[in-house]
Copies of this chain bind each other. A is one copy, B any other.
Amino acid sequence: MKLGVLGTGMVGQAIAGRLVELGHEVKMGSRRAGNEKAVGWASEAGEGASEGSFPEAAGFGEVVVNATAGGASLEALEAAGADNLTGKVLIDVANPLDFSQGMPPTLSVCNDDSLGERIQQAFPEAKVVKALNTVNASVMVSPGALGESTNVFVCGNDEGAKAQVEELLRSFGWGEGRVFDLGDISAARGAEMYLPLWLRMFGALGTGEFNIGVVRGK
């Protein structure tokens, strides 16, 4: 499959790299084609890896991944262009973290709204699926390192899009029953508002190599 991954940070590199490893063609997008990190990634990631501008990457992908910083996501997607997202699955991995008040960050949107919803509202012709934002980059693409008992969450308004994302997550190593469907895109509030707890656990554990597993009573 052809995928566009918007964002050149750790998350973008981890996801784009894993997708190439799995045999997909991936164009990493950034504000301007020729971005140093994107060029470096494309030259090392192997066959199927390329880079370009946001619109080039979004236009290239049958599926588009938003791996930009949450505070810059709407702007990046505007740059990518609504036309390049129309009818496509848009996997939103970003968290609306606001570091302007110092550490730990707050959320720039939460409670009665979410970044996932704002993206869906701004791009009504895209099929937004919030996913993977509750784990760090390495857990996203290699969940098996934590064993078989942790979960990742998806939510979105389009069932077919969620099924397609689940299939992709399965190929990353998220096993049977480990992809938890929270419902429609408004559930992005839940997935994003988990971040403050994640950040405290990160602080207490001293590592981002952790995740939660949901255990249900019999």
Cα A149 to Cα B129 with chains together (Å) = 29
Tally of this chain's copies: 2
> Is there a chain B Cβ closer than 8 Å to A119's Cβ?
no
Interface assignment of A182: CB less than 8 Å from any CB of chain B:
yes
- Whole-angstrom distance between the Cβ of A106 and the nearest chain B Cβ: 5
Residues of B within 8 A of A182 (CB): 197, 200-201, 204
What 1/0 flags go to A129-167 for Cβ under 8 Å of B?
000000000010000011101100101000000000000
Question: Closest approach, in angstroms, between the C-beta of A41 and any C-beta of chain B?
Answer: 24
- By a CB distance below 8 angstroms, the chain B residues around A25 are none
Could you say which residues of chain B place their CB within 8 Å of the CB of A198?
190
**CA–CA, A215 and B209, complex, Å:** 9
A34 at the interface (CB under 8 A from B): no
- Chain B residues whose CB sits within 8 angstroms of the CB of A145 once the complex forms: 217-218
Interface string of A156-188 (1 = CB under 8 A from B): 000000000000000000000000111100010
Binds B, one of A14-22, A61-69, A107-115: A107-115
